[in-house]
Amino acid sequence: MRRLVSYALVYLLAAATAQAGDTVPLQVRIGYLGYRPDPGPLLSNVIAEPTDAGLRGAELAIIDSNSTGRFLKHDYRLDSATVDSPEALLQAARAQHEQGLRLFVVNAPAASLRQLSAALPDSLLFNAGSPDDNLRTSDCLGNVLHTLPDRATLADALVQFSVVRKWQRALLIVGQTPEDQAYAAALRRAMKRFGMKIVAEKPWQFDNDQRRSAQADMPLFTQTAEYDVVLVADERGDFGEYVPYQTWFPRPVAGTQGLTPTGWHKTVETYGAAQLQKRFEALAGRWMNDRDFAAWIAVRSIAAAVSKLRQDDPFAIRQLALGDQLPLDGFKGRKLSYRPWNGQLRQPIPLVQPRALVSTSPQDGFLHPSNEMDSLGFDRPEVSCRYP
């Protein structure tokens, strides 16, 4: 009897193996579309920004997805296009679409993302490049999910920590670009939301070289009523790197420089993140940044959905992601999920200085009726658009 049972088990295993071997692998093709405008000459350019930010994260995610996908007969491939103009980006997207691609990771400004969303209505796009708040509040794109944190999320993460540290009074310094103005608006919103006070707001209007004159200019420029922290809105890096240690009052500096909220940083190592960091450094030869992580988690979101659905239909993936049933791990100690009202990925936000992790938000004590990570960024009542 035992021998008969053993023979039966061997037969069943052999049949299952043969059936699996006959299965045609599911080909999952993902397009990567990258375009970053030339920022122009920067004064604080001692450490250059990587030109392949985002792309390397997507490439690593393809490797990671194939390492597990082969057991399910899933084959992931990345078709990448990194271009130097919005027109070339749209052309590359249409070319990939004609080749049958319907899943895209986009590392581009908001204007290009809107163009791509309109040009590819039957596709699903993951925004790994634009922190624009309007894309999450009043101008939601129905076929776009966001893996890069928006400015409101970053500002809320920083201001929560400031409140915990009892930095209640802030001097706000704002650069001249539209991006700086948007970052400053997010900081104002967060300070009003969590009870911080702006004692003074100063626009940066100097055009001289701060590498030579910061010691003379900054103390006088930051002289005002007493403050607990200096908040800087300088996304380009025109002047913000020269604010720390030069302020009139000896106070911490935070925002785009100093203590910085970000989606990812080299100093994030807990919950298995060190393994991800090592794999990335072996692939790219540099540190993983926030756009790399945003592209990585976008591809991993697709792979997690395909593994659960056994198909790569873009709208089925979108529905699963927005339904809070997507099994998604991002090495941040919590299950990640997408908000159904605007498609933003919920995720903890590291607060870092250049060589150390200082804290992670949401901070303890900041509660929410349903999900404490919704204390960061735009909650449902704050969003005027609704995903269909």
Same fold, 26-149+265-347 and 152-261: yes
Instruction: Copy the structure tokens of residue 312.
Output: 């790569």
Query: What is the C-alpha separation between 243 and 214, in angstroms, rounded?
Result: 8
Query: What is the C-alpha separation between 197 and 182, in angstroms, rounded?
Result: 19
Is the separation of the CB atoms in 278 and 270 below 8 Å? no
Q: What class is the 26-149+265-347 domain? A: alpha beta
Write out pLDDT tens, residues 274-333.
Answer: 999 999 999 999 999 999 999 999 999 999 999 999 999 999 999 999 998 898 999 999
- Residue 44 — very low, low, confident or very high, per pLDDT cuts 50/70/90? low
Write out pLDDT tens, residues 326-337.
Answer: 989 999 998 899
For domain 152-261, give the fold. Rossmann fold (3.40.50)
Write out pLDDT tens, residues 180-218.
Answer: 999 999 999 999 999 999 999 999 987 666 555 666 789
The verdict on pTM exceeding 0.75 is: yes
Query: What is the C-alpha separation between 266 and 149, in angstroms, rounded?
Result: 17
- Residue 10 — very low, low, confident or very high, per pLDDT cuts 50/70/90? very low
**301 membership: H or E segment, kind and range:** helix 290-309
Sequence ranges of the domains in the chain = 26-149+265-347, 152-261
Residues 6+ apart with CB under 8 A from 178: none
Q: What is the pLDDT averaged over residues 60-76?
A: 94
**82 membership: H or E segment, kind and range:** strand 74-82
